[in-house]
Structures are given as structure tokens and as C-alpha cells.
Amino acid sequence: MLMEWLKKCYSRLLIDNHITDLKADFMSRFDPAEYLRMVRLCGVDSSMIYACDHNGNCYYPTVVGHQHKSLNGRDIFGETVTLMRQHAIVPIAYYTVIYHNDSAKSHPAWRQHDVNGKTHDGRYHYSCPNNQEYLEFAKRQLSEIAVYDVAGFFIDMTFWPMVCQCDCCRAKYLAETGCALPQTINWNNPEWVKFQRARERWMAEFAAALTAHLKTIRPDAGVTHQFSPVLHGWFLGQSSGIALASDYASGDFYGDKYQHRLGAKIFSAYSRYQPYEFMTSRCVSLHDHTSTKSEDELYLHAGTTLANGGAYFFIDAINPDGTLNERIYQRLSKVISRLKPFKDCIQSHVPALWADCGLYFSMNSCVNDASNGMTLTEMTEGGANMDVRYNAVVEEVTGTAVVLNRMKQPYRAVTDLNDLTGLKTLIINNAAYMTPAEVERIRQFVRAGGTLIATGKTSLFDLNGNSTGDFQLADVFGVSFSGGVSGSISYLRTTGENDLISSARLSSPLVNATTAEVTGNVVEADFPIGDPDQYASIHSNPPGKITKFAGLTVNRYGKGVCVYLYSSLLKHQQDSQQQFGRELFARFIAPTVICAANLPGSAEITLLRSSTANVMLCCLVNYQDELPVIPVSDVQIVLQLPDNFKAEKMVRISDGSALPFTVSGTHLTFTLDKLNELEMIEIKGE
């Protein structure tokens, strides 16, 4: 069956291999048998094997490209794939595009270059996906790799490392639009936004062309593209089109546990087939070859992925001479052994996240208003996807996710590719750019009885940056955009306990209520923010005048309700704003976890629904900031399960024991006498 392996491999490994051939002994000691021994030692189900690295060095005898010189024609990729197959380890081929030094260095016409003439960032040299010759080259190399008996292909770096201004990009844009490439960033200007959409579309078309090419040769194999830029904003130029060109979502991340929790849910939402895979390096970062994460860190990374229904995936890096460090695999072996009961449980259910609370994630809206007016010559961004690259929208979504985590409210991510079936509540953070189809789906959701919590500029523009001057969802919000924005510091005055909530470093839309009830007004400072001469207080910009503009409103629409919040203040991960968020969500979100007594704020509860049985899984990840984790005792949980689900039996996965529970009405109550780092409860339905 097509990609049956995907559902059977929840434990995966990649051994990074970006070694140059500048010295004769580099890669000279690589031994496929030793590689296999390490893979078997740690006990993963699947291993990704390098066919071609960022240097453009192939590890098989390529005809169209450059083979790593030290191999002297030896096919270590093929030998390793064969050995993996012989020992039932599922082999996946790694191939890199764009970041491909050999092609860029040997073909000057293929190179990307930015407006300042830059063609590379340090060691990384880029070819342009809009160059047809380069595209054909990448296809020919993939044709060579597709001959091998791999189960799938991971294509790395399908994103823009710069705003390319090469001849191909200029000519293509001119042919498509009749326009030259715009040179000034302005997210309110359709000319700029339209260009960004072209960048996204071009990259998606490039990814789709490579996928289609592989599928013609290997229709049985899985294909995926690096999708970590989903969290990195507009610059890298990815879009939902990358998910559409992939069989499952995959990518590597280097942020904290909150980025991991959010990223996992976004991957789950974008993944055509479950499970998605979530990569974490065994080193503290890929820039550090030797500093290994602790056993507990690795365990919690993998546990977080499993608890969100994903396949965990470790990345190691090979030594320059081609050897591997056995101690690393011994450490991974311990981690993977501890994970085994949980991995086996998830693998048997192939579950997906279940929640009736949705958190909208609009890739199209991950822009940076603060850059408006900046020319491309002034921009200093680089191409890496291994940094934590925040933008205002990702920060706000992350802040919202943290509030939900701390409230123990399970949620799932929702994207422009998903429908809203099964949701009771939808939170949309500042999704400024929306298609008419997205807008209509959301309107229907509220009309039919859903609760919408929307912030900022949500739906102000269509995808190409055109606007009528008002929100596309103005009727649902019950407010109308005034055309003006607040100062970069403003305040929300409500009647609650937190009566003045600050929004710092944010210019927010100022709106007038039409049909909505106003429950909070915008308060501005007395003088312009940052004015050196006129100010109320020398250190800060205290609240001054109460404006007529609505800051927080509630609007009845159809059978549903819409809460509108003017600013992105939920991005501030500080107690004042988070307390406001908690109170707001407590008013409008029906809780799934009614009680989670004795569970620390840092812990997450997720619910998963099995695709193989009438089973729900309740997962708890006790991920504290300082490790090792302090176990907690007597954790009492009360869950509101789906309406049509009645619990018959519960099993604690850590030890396989039956777990007593009580049912009262629609509430399910159970107690864990002790919780270490990770627990899963299998809830079998009647």
C-alpha cells in the first residue's frame, strides 16, 4: 500500500552529512555496516540517508553533478540503502535544493543574487528555482537517486534565502505582471504584497514540480519538503503550497518547548497524511558539532512530538572522516527505550490531535509591518532556517498558544487548507490577508453557532493586499475599521480587574463599533510615543486620554458570537497580558479540561483520536524549565470528552495498568498518583 511505512515509523533518525572533500581523508572511514550498527543500536524504525548535501557533494556516483572526491567512485548511499532494507530499517533519501554549492559555484547564471549583488551567505551558495536549467539539473539528480530502493524522499531547503533579483526572477515577474520587481517593502501596498505572493507561488511550483517528477518515477514513494519555514515568516517565501507539494509535513526546529508545541500542531494541521515528523537535533544546535542535549531533553523533545501525534526524529551529525560517535547512539538507545511504550501506543493508533478549540495560523499573514518603507537595499536578513525568526504574527500566535497551554486547554491548529468542522471556538490572531473562501468559511462558522475570537487586522486585506478599507469580516466582528492606527504604545481599558492592559511596540487598528457591544476602549498616551520633549513621564508613556475607539467588543452574529480585540497584546508573554488572555478565554471557550489539579503550568495536556479504534488518548507532558523534571503527585484530571464518546476502559501506558475512573454526566474523572515526564492514558470507548 502507498506509504504504509509512514504509519509504522514513529521513531526516525537522520545523520547529517555535509562534509566537504577539501581533505583526502574526509569521509574516507565511512562504513555502511558501522552506520547500520549505530542505527540498530539506537533502535529507530527509519533512517534518512544523504544522497547529496549542501556542498553539492553526492554520495553516489552521479553523472550530472559532483561526487564527493574521497569516495573515489564508491556508492556509499546505495550500499547503505541496501543494508537498511536488509535489516528492515526504512530508508529515506535526503536531497538538498537551492542550497547546493556545487551547482551555484559552477554555473554563475544559476545563482540567486539580491539587490546588493550578494550571491551567498558565507559558506552557503544558492541556485535560483526560477532558472529552468537549474530546475532540470535538480530533476536529473533526483532521477538518479530515485533508482535506489528508498521508501521516500526528503527535499531540503525549498525556500528563498534572499529576495532574489536574478535575471530569471526579473524576466518571470515582468512576463507575469508587466512590472519590474518592487524595491520597497510595504505590506499595505498591493504592489509589494503581490510580489510576495509571486515568490511564494514560484517556490510552491518549484516544490510541486520536483514532487511530480519523483512521483512519475516512484509513484509508491513518499515525498516531502523542508517545512520549518512555516514558523519563520514571509522572508523565506513558503506558503501552504509547500504542504500541498508534500505527502506529510516535515522539518527541523531549534526553539523552546512552546515553539515545539505550536509547531507540532501546525505540522499536524498541514500534513496530508499522518504522522507528520518533527526533527530535533541531538546537539544543542546544528552549528555545534559536539554539545549533546541531555537524555532528559531528548526524551522530552520526542515525548512532546508523540503527545501531539507526530513521529519523533533525531538528527546527529557525522564526523568529517565519516565515523560516528557510538556514545551518542548509546544515549539515543536509552531515550528510545524509555519512549517505547508510548511510541508503541501512538503507532498502534495512528492518531490525530483532537480539540474543539482551533488556533488559526495564516502563513500569508506572517509579515512584518515594522519594515514598511524599508528598501530592499537596506534589508539585512539572511537565509537560515535554523534560527528562531519571530515576526509579530508568529509572536502573537505563540503567546496565545502559551495562554491555552497554561489553561490546559487542548487546541489544534487550523490553516487555510482546513475546514472548521468540529470546532466550537476559533481564535484568529491578526490574520490580515485572507482569501474570500477563507472569509466565507469563517463567516459560516460563526453564523452556525461558533465562537470567534479575532484580533487586529484580521481579514483587512485580500491575499494580494487589496482592501475596501474595511475588514472583510466587518459584519461578523460588528466593528468597522476607522482607517487609523494607534501609537506604538496604547492601552485597553476594560471594566475588569486588569483595567489597563498595555500593548507595547504595536500599532493597532482603531475601530468603531457598529453592531457590537463595546466592553473596552482604547486609551492613548497624552503625547506622541517617544517624543523627546513632550511626555508625561520620562521613562514610560502612561495612559492618557480615553478614545472613542473600541478595544474589545462582543458581537452576536447568526447563532454565534464574535469577540474582537484591537491589538496583538497576547504576544506579550508576561503575567498581566496572559492573565487578561486567560480571563477572556475562560469567558468564551468551553473548557475540555475541567480540572487539572496539581499539574504545573509548564505541563501540557493533549487529546488524540485514534484512526484504528474507538479510542481517545490523553497525553500529559510534564516539561519543566529546569531539568531533571520534578515528578508531581496526585494529579486529578476532569475531562469533557466529545459528545458521542463514552469511556469504557482506561489504561495507563507507562506501566500498562488499568486506571480507575468515574463518569458523571459528560465528565470523566481520574487521578494519576504520580506523573514523571510523560504519560499517556488510553481511553477505550464503548
Closest contact distance (angstroms) between CB of 172 and Zn ion is 8
Residue nearer to Zn ion on the CB measure, 383 or 478: 383
Q: Is 98 in the site for Zn ion (CB under 5 A)?
A: no
Residue nearer to Zn ion on the CB measure, 164 or 550: 164
The SS3 call for residue 58 is strand
For residue 420, give Cα distances in angstroms to 140, 477, 560. 41, 18, 14
Which of the residues 631 through 650 are near Zn ion (CB under 5 A)? none
Residue nearer to Zn ion on the CB measure, 56 or 309: 56
What is the spatial distance between Cα 565 and Cα 553, in angstroms, rounded to a whole number?
A: 7
Answer yes or no: are the C-beta atoms of 364 and 417 closer than 8 Å. Answer: no
Answer yes or no: are the C-beta atoms of 163 and 170 closer than 8 Å. Answer: no
Closest contact distance (angstroms) between CB of 189 and Zn ion is 22
Write down the residue that cell numbers 494541521 correspond to: 269
Residue nearer to Zn ion on the CB measure, 25 or 167: 167
Closest contact distance (angstroms) between CB of 385 and Zn ion is 18
Give me the amino acid identity at 153.
F
Question: In this structure, how many other beta carbons lie within 10 angstroms of the beta carbon of residue 209?
Answer: 15
Peptide bond into 436 cis (omega under 30): no
Closest contact distance (angstroms) between CB of 164 and Zn ion is 3
Closest contact distance (angstroms) between CB of 109 and Zn ion is 11
Q: Give the x/- contact pattern for Zn ion in 316-355, rule: CB under 5 A.
A: ----------------------------------------
* Site size for Zn ion (CB under 5 A): 6
Closest contact distance (angstroms) between CB of 368 and Zn ion is 22
Where b means 16+ CB within 10 Å and e means fewer, 174-207 reads eeeeeeebbeebbbeebebbbbbbbbbebbbebb
Residue nearer to Zn ion on the CB measure, 134 or 270: 134
Residue nearer to Zn ion on the CB measure, 15 or 169: 169
Closest contact distance (angstroms) between CB of 54 and Zn ion is 18
Closest contact distance (angstroms) between CB of 112 and Zn ion is 5
Residue nearer to Zn ion on the CB measure, 128 or 617: 128
For strand 678-685 and strand 311-317, is the pairing parallel, antiparallel, or unpaired? unpaired
Give me the amino acid identity at 210.
L
Q: Give the x/- contact pattern for Zn ion in 435-474, rule: CB under 5 A.
A: ----------------------------------------
Closest contact distance (angstroms) between CB of 107 and Zn ion is 13
For residue 199, give Cα distances in angstroms to 120, 206, 296, 467, 525. 18, 11, 41, 21, 39
The SS3 call for residue 481 is strand
Residue nearer to Zn ion on the CB measure, 196 or 502: 196
Which ranges in 275-325 belong to alpha helices (H)?
Answer: 295-307
Q: Give the x/- contact pattern for Zn ion in 278-317, rule: CB under 5 A.
A: ----------------------------------------
Residue nearer to Zn ion on the CB measure, 111 or 424: 111
Beta strands per DSSP E along 217-344: 222-225, 250-252, 277-281, 311-317
Which of the residues 119 through 178 are near Zn ion (CB under 5 A)? 128, 130, 164, 166, 168-169
Q: Please state the φ and ψ torsions of residue 40, each to the nearest 5 degrees.
A: -70, -35
For Zn ion, the binding residues (CB under 5 A) are: 128, 130, 164, 166, 168-169
